[in-house]
Structure 1
Amino acid sequence: MKIAGKKIGLSTQVFSAMILGAVLGLLFGDVMVKLEFIGTVWLNCIKLIVVPMVLMTIITGITSQKDLKTLGRIAVRIMAFYIITTLIASVVGLLVAGIVQPGKYANFTGLESKEVSGSADITIADFFINMFSANMFQTFVEANILQTVIIAILIGVAIMLVKNEDHRQKLISGCDALCSMVFSLIGMIMKASPVGILFLMGASFGKYGTGIFTSMATLLGTYYLSCLVHILVVYGGILFIGAGINPFKFIKESAELWVYTLSTCSSVAAIPVNMKVAREKFNVPDRISSFTVPLGSQMNYDGSVLLYGCVIMFICQVCGQAVSIEMMLRVVLLSAILSTGGGGVPGSGIVKLLVVVEAFNLPTEIVGIIAAFYRLFDMGTTTNNCLGDLVGTVLISRLEEKRSRR
């Protein structure tokens, strides 16, 4: 798109579409809700390419490493980053909600709850079993991303271990060619992003209107405050100390990513945008981002555990229940463990939230109310998750650069 001879960037187009969609949703709510199918078609096109994208980016990310030792070092570092920041995120959510105390100002009179259903029986054994597929084609059909990640890692490592040099190089070249085709298709779909986002946002505001600002405002505001604290203090501190990057510059440079995630609420759909920002804004080589970003989409859930902490504290305040240090520690550990188990939990986000609340014998009615407005929470959840993937990717890239200079 061009105006007066100047090309408008995709992030500007997406942001403009998001604002215009919100305005149209408020003005013509019923019409925008009926036209939601246009945004859904665009979103389906993204879902169409998700499995091959995750499969090929991780395979090529692995095969582009110098050797398995390099791959192992990157894998250990990025997983350690994701685990540590997830634990910190839970603490941040509890502390911010404890200081702001949104539950004391909440008023749920007149709000309708939404029934939340799904399995709450999650064991460590089930989690690990669900990670490994018994049929890769069934995994692809069901779009089980966690299993797809494991399959891609196994294939990538297998290619690296092929002893015949000629065969190994042919396999690597073939995967690179397929990856190029996948990203060519993604480029086609991304050009339609402003249109899809406009109708998705219009439908969301057409359904909920401004009621959210007079009902769930206390919890929603506290949650977004905790997200902001986590981004500026935790991510910002890590970037400043570990990579020498100014936190505010990072927010500015990553605008294309967080505008996109606020609009789509999809971590997996944001993978190509995340990799693009990492490459173009922070000079991260594809051999790193093609491994760390898809992995983060399944392992890093900082935004989710921020919400768990806020909701637990919020419900305790509404009920007048005291929160002990022991309970806070249990919340931190349970949130961190549960957040990585999305592949085996039907309904994902809101169901996992229900599981956390039930684990502490707290009333679940408020979770039902949250479910009715979950997309507005999911905007922050997805954005925080994806920014965490980007921060970890940039940090690992800088550490690898420092190592290569030695």
Structure 2
Amino acid sequence: MSLSKKILLGMGLGVLVGLLFNFALPNAFDIVNNYIFIPVGKIFLNLIKMLVVPIVLVSLILGTAGVSDPKKLGRIGLKTVSFFLITTALAIVLALGTALIVKPGIGDYQLDGADYEATEAPPVIETLLNIIPTNPINAMVQENMLQIIAFAIFIGFAMARLGTKVDGLLKLVEQANNVLMYLVNMVMKFAPYGAFALIATAIGGQGFSAIAAMSKYLFVVLFVLLIHFVFVYGSALKFLGKMSLITFIKGFSPAMIVAFSTSSSNATLPVSMDAAQKNLGVSKTVSGFVQPLGATINMDGTAIMQGVATVFIAQVVAQDLTLSQLITVLLTATLASIGTAGVPGVGLIMLSMVLTSVGLPVEAIALVLGVDRLIDMFRTTVNITGDAVCAVIVDRSEGNNDLDDLERS
């Protein structure tokens, strides 16, 4: 049985076991969850997270060093950031439009007793200014991805300019990359068990009453995520990447499954890059540059959640959003995806920023918290898919012919 099938089997069993505890054994769930599911899931997550920082550092150094022409590096960077901003804006427009049509917030929702304390995000300009690390080692310790990315790009650029003078260092980094990818393959052998435990925790911990009460909101978010995945990414792949969505899904499914299980773009990054390079034929140079950057600043799935949640909360409090407010939501959510990069709990922080920008009560976030864990699994899958789609398109635009061979096969 292939690894992907094993992980899917683990996820399926996790769903069944989670539902069993939810409906038949709710009192026993906490004991089993605390002593079995959480430890197993935590071990799997820690094994992957252990590799994230070194893989981002090494892959970006190799990716940048492989682009000897500074103009080419700037061109790849411009294409990447442009794609991320455009797809994020499209995601929010789809979310706002669908929510306004379906009206998920019309119903008997009570804000009485709802409480949510928003964490204040740093200003966008402060985040941009802090991209350059004063202490690269400290940036790695704190897992500040933007600073790690900046440092790696500087090192890679210097190595590209120095050429043969640093052949020994380049070979060392390449060997480090080989070691890390070998470790990724080792860790992935534990993935079926980790996926089982994480899914069982997520499903078993969700009260059925909470899911039923928020079913309309949940449906709208999942529907827009599906539309964005199939039509936006599918069209981008077909017309810009010259690749069918089916071919892409077949190659990238291992990473999508891990993203669904872990609900973390950064934790999935090692698997995402491995799948893009080995299964989709994306060059190490482009994959090493685009995907780590995307895992940090590209959040289409999260943007969809914010758009639907904003309209949902506005309808709950009976406040009609004007055209100017809808535009404000679009701009705020798009910029916030970069401005809050690397901040823990980024999705809810971004949502609190969006709600504040249009004068909606931040405490209403408490309404959507009940089903946010379930939504997080789906939106993370969309987030990392967008990164890989961008990598395919950028690599195609840079003349990678391996993508043609993949599509023909």
Specify every segment of 5 or more residues in structure 1 that has no aligned partner in the other structure, as ranges: 1-7
Higher alpha-carbon deviation: 109-118 or 73-82: 109-118
Q: 2:44 aligns with which of 42, 45, 52?
A: 42
Partner Cα distance (1:345, 1:402) in 2 = 34
Q: Match for residue 244 of structure 2?
A: 246
Higher alpha-carbon deviation: 365-374 or 321-330: 365-374
Partner Cα distance (1:185, 1:114) in 2 = 43
The question of whether the paired residues in 1 share the 8 Å contact of 2:296 and 2:342 is answered with no
SS at match of 2:259: helix
The 1:154–1:172 alpha-carbon spacing in structure 2 relative to 1, beyond 3 Å, is: same
TM-score, normalization by structure 1: 0.90
Partner Cα distance (1:374, 1:159) in 2 = 43
Q: Match for residue 92 of structure 2?
A: 90
Q: Residues 242-290 of structure 1: CA distance to partner in whole angstroms, max 9, x if unpaired? A: 1233334433443222222111111112222222332333222222112
The question of whether the paired residues in 1 share the 8 Å contact of 2:252 and 2:280 is answered with no
Q: 2:319 aligns with which of 318, 321, 327?
A: 321
Q: CA deviation at 1:31?
A: 4.1
Matched, 1:68 2:70: yes
Q: CA deviation at 1:400?
A: 1.6
Q: 1:271 aligns with which of 269, 272, 282?
A: 269
User: What amino acid is aligned across from residue 261 of structure 2 in structure 1?
Assistant: S
User: What amino acid is aligned across from residue 103 of structure 2 in structure 1?
Assistant: Q
SS at match of 1:208: coil
Partner Cα distance (2:111, 2:192) in 1 = 35
Q: Match for residue 10 of structure 1?
A: 3
Specify every segment of 5 or more residues in structure 2 that has no aligned partner in the other structure, as ranges: 22-28, 403-409
The question of whether the paired residues in 2 share the 8 Å contact of 1:268 and 1:297 is answered with yes
Q: Match for residue 211 of structure 2?
A: 213
The question of whether the paired residues in 1 share the 8 Å contact of 2:277 and 2:284 is answered with yes
Partner Cα distance (2:7, 2:112) in 1 = 32
TM-score, normalization by structure 2: 0.90
Partner Cα distance (2:93, 2:289) in 1 = 28
Q: Match for residue 133 of structure 1?
A: 133
The question of whether the paired residues in 1 share the 8 Å contact of 2:130 and 2:147 is answered with yes
Q: CA deviation at 1:209?
A: 4.0
Matched, 1:99 2:101: yes
SS at match of 1:211: helix
Q: Residues 197-219 of structure 1: CA distance to partner in whole angstroms, max 9, x if unpaired? A: 11111112221143343122111
Q: Match for residue 148 of structure 2?
A: 148
The question of whether the paired residues in 1 share the 8 Å contact of 2:233 and 2:389 is answered with yes
The question of whether the paired residues in 1 share the 8 Å contact of 2:237 and 2:393 is answered with yes
SS at match of 1:362: coil
Q: Residues 269-328 of structure 1: CA distance to partner in whole angstroms, max 9, x if unpaired? A: 222222233233322222211211111111211111111111111112222222222111
Partner Cα distance (1:74, 1:391) in 2 = 14
Q: CA deviation at 1:192?
A: 0.7
RMSD, aligned α-carbons: 2.3
User: What amino acid is aligned across from residue 115 of structure 1 in structure 2?
Assistant: Y
The 1:342–1:190 alpha-carbon spacing in structure 2 relative to 1, beyond 3 Å, is: farther
Q: 1:202 aligns with which of 185, 200, 203?
A: 200
Higher alpha-carbon deviation: 383-392 or 32-41: 32-41
SS at match of 1:103: coil
The question of whether the paired residues in 2 share the 8 Å contact of 1:90 and 1:306 is answered with yes
User: What amino acid is aligned across from residue 332 of structure 2 in structure 1?
Assistant: L
Q: 1:301 aligns with which of 299, 302, 305?
A: 299
User: What amino acid is aligned across from residue 65 of structure 2 in structure 1?
Assistant: T
The question of whether the paired residues in 2 share the 8 Å contact of 1:119 and 1:346 is answered with no
Partner Cα distance (1:246, 1:343) in 2 = 30
The 1:170–1:81 alpha-carbon spacing in structure 2 relative to 1, beyond 3 Å, is: same
Aligned positions, number: 394
The 1:98–1:250 alpha-carbon spacing in structure 2 relative to 1, beyond 3 Å, is: farther
Q: Match for residue 56 of structure 1?
A: 58
Higher alpha-carbon deviation: 68-77 or 258-267: 68-77
Q: Match for residue 328 of structure 2?
A: 330
Partner Cα distance (1:356, 1:12) in 2 = 39
The question of whether the paired residues in 1 share the 8 Å contact of 2:44 and 2:194 is answered with yes
User: What amino acid is aligned across from residue 365 of structure 2 in structure 1?
Assistant: V
The question of whether the paired residues in 2 share the 8 Å contact of 1:338 and 1:352 is answered with yes
The 1:32–1:330 alpha-carbon spacing in structure 2 relative to 1, beyond 3 Å, is: same
Q: Match for residue 367 of structure 1?
A: 365
The question of whether the paired residues in 2 share the 8 Å contact of 1:267 and 1:297 is answered with yes
Q: Match for residue 405 of structure 2?
A: none
Partner Cα distance (2:251, 2:394) in 1 = 18
Q: CA deviation at 1:17?
A: 0.8
Partner Cα distance (2:319, 2:59) in 1 = 47
Q: 1:234 aligns with which of 225, 232, 242?
A: 232
The 1:109–1:16 alpha-carbon spacing in structure 2 relative to 1, beyond 3 Å, is: farther
Q: Match for residue 4 of structure 1?
A: none
The question of whether the paired residues in 2 share the 8 Å contact of 1:56 and 1:175 is answered with yes
SS at match of 1:368: helix
The 1:280–1:378 alpha-carbon spacing in structure 2 relative to 1, beyond 3 Å, is: same
Q: After TM superposition, list the pairs within 5 Å mapping 1:370-385 onto structure 2.
A: 370-385=368-383
Q: CA deviation at 1:133?
A: 1.6
User: What amino acid is aligned across from residue 157 of structure 1 in structure 2?
Assistant: F
Q: Residues 326-382 of structure 1: CA distance to partner in whole angstroms, max 9, x if unpaired? A: 111111100001111234645322122112112211122330232343221211221
Q: Which runs of 4+ in 1 moved over 6 A?
A: none
Partner Cα distance (2:279, 2:113) in 1 = 44
User: What amino acid is aligned across from residue 172 of structure 1 in structure 2?
Assistant: L
SS at match of 2:71: helix
Q: Match for residue 5 of structure 1?
A: none
Q: Match for residue 282 of structure 2?
A: 284
